[in-house]
Chain A
Amino acid sequence: QKEVEQNSGPLSVPEGAIASLNCTYSDRGSQSFFWYRQYSGKSPELIMSIYSNGDKEDGRFTAQLNKASQYVSLLIRDSQPSDSATYLCAVNSWGVSGGRRALTFGSGTRLQVQP
């Protein structure tokens, strides 16, 4: 079982619609959750972080966390063609031996916003 899972897509939405991106993780001890946006050939760019259950809004982006269901999502309102990119979910947690671990990334969901 992969530690962080995302649907690879592509997820296609029309311009102005809401794009919903989902991520599940396997480690119940996970504590920090991040969403990155990666354009083709570029490095990932941090767009959202969330640490507690509930919603966190930043402009057109909303991150949602449900630790009981081990589920993180990202909503993009009023989607624009410039939002077309791969979105990576990343999770930080403690290792099974008690040691700290670096961020583990999902394989990403490709989003296409159609003009």
Chain B
Amino acid sequence: SQTIHQWPATLVQPVGSPLSLECTVEGTSNPNLYWYRQAAGRGLQLLFYSVGIGQISSEVPQNLSASRPQDRQFILSSKKLLLSDSGFYLCAWTAGWGEKLFFGSGTQLSVL
């Protein structure tokens, strides 16, 4: 069966510090991978998606970037965090377009 791992679960970072969140998927090959962000009490906002190694599409211009160095690995990064980057970050995968989307356990990021 397929599983998705995301870490860390919580993170507290000062403004201006760098960020790296990692996500890996097991039990499948060539998944579509996604990064979503959920602000407190708000809906899910799609940040990035990837259909293959090195292929990244950005949905919202912002302070963040994403990379996919391996088939089942997806990384979310920032060089300098802003207060507005605080939120619940969720990695997710699908087997293909229109397929069911499955989420990792999420990272609660607080930028202070």
Contact = CB atoms under 8 A, between A and B. Distances in A.
Interface of A: 31-32, 34, 41-46, 49, 88, 90, 92, 100, 102-108
Contact of B101 (A34, A107, A108): A34
7 contacts: A42-B105, A46-B102, A88-B43, A92-B97, A102-B101, A105-B36, A105-B43
Nearest to B34: A102
A105 B90 contact: no
A104 B60 CA distance: 13
Given A41-B108, A44-B103, A108 B97 contact: no
| Shortest 8 CB-CB contacts between residues of A and residues of B | A107-B43, A105-B44, A43-B103, A43-B106, A32-B98, A100-B97, A102-B49, A92-B98
B43 A108 contact: yes
A106 B43 contact: yes
Interface residues of B, number: 21
A102 B59 CA distance: 10
A76 to B, nearest CB: 19
Contacts of B44: 44, 88, 105
Contacts of A104: 46
Nearest to A51: B98
Nearest to A45: B103
Contacts of A49: 100
Contacts of B49: 102
B87 interface: no
Contacts of A45: 103
Given A34-B100, A102-B34, 10 more contacts: A31-B98, A43-B104, A44-B103, A46-B101, A100-B97, A102-B32, A102-B46, A102-B49, A102-B59, A105-B36
Contact of B105 (A34, A43, A102, A108): A43
Contacts of B106: 42-43
